[in-house]
Amino acid sequence: MTTPDIKPPARPSTGNPIARSHNVWRGGLLFESGVGERVHQLDGNSKMAPSPVETLLGALGCCAGADVVDILTKQRTAPRKLEVDVEASRRAEFPRRVMTVEVSFLVEGAGLERPQVERAIALSIEKYCTVAASLAGDIPLHTILTLNGERGEPVTQPMFSATFPG
């Protein structure tokens, strides 16, 4: 399935965006997400496609994995195999936010040493991985509703971490 050329409503610039996602509801809790012809499905019921949370975890694994491959390749010790598994625990109550994350890396390749690969993983999580850094609760979030063609004003939404009782 590809998303037809439906343009989202015009919006004011929010700086220099480096990423976008256009999401189109396809019935039930199934959405197509992406940009242009590069789309994938997400399913809020986890039946026909990965759920949004599974996709978040996949994004974290892919982001960190790409960094590790890039770092090791620049050190002239490219891995021949890399797999990343991400497992999370969630709150039982709504919002069922992710509470803990475990990222497991399986790396194989000639000339790779444990300290070198551990350092590449640490650099990814601590410095380079946009997805890992974005899991922090200090990101301003604004919503804008366009209802029946009428665009409303931006509304600042408090992030869950700011409203969570300590």
Give the pLDDT mean for 65-76. 96
SS3 content of the chain, % helix, strand, coil (to 5): 30, 30, 45
Fold that domain 51-139 belongs to in CATH: GMP Synthetase; Chain A, domain 3 (3.30.300)
Looking at residue 1, its pLDDT comes to: 47
Cα–Cα distance measured from residue 45 to residue 30, given in angstroms and rounded to the nearest whole number = 8
Q: pTM of the entire structure?
A: 0.78
Q: How far apart are the first and last CA of the chain?
A: 44
Cα–Cα distance measured from residue 109 to residue 3, given in angstroms and rounded to the nearest whole number = 40
Nearest to 152 by CA among 5, 12, 6, 7: 12
Lowest-confidence segment of 26-35, 124-133, 157-166 by average pLDDT = 157-166
Q: Is 36 left (phi over 0), alpha (psi -120 to 50) or beta?
A: left
Looking at residue 95, its pLDDT comes to: 83
Nearest to 121 by CA among 63, 162, 49, 42: 63
What is the SS3 string spanning 21-33? CEEEECCCCEEEE
Omega before residue 52 within 30° of 0, cis: no
Domain ranges of the chain: 20-49, 51-139
Whether pLDDT at 128 is above 60: yes
Q: Tens of pLDDT along 83-95?
A: 999 988 888 998 8
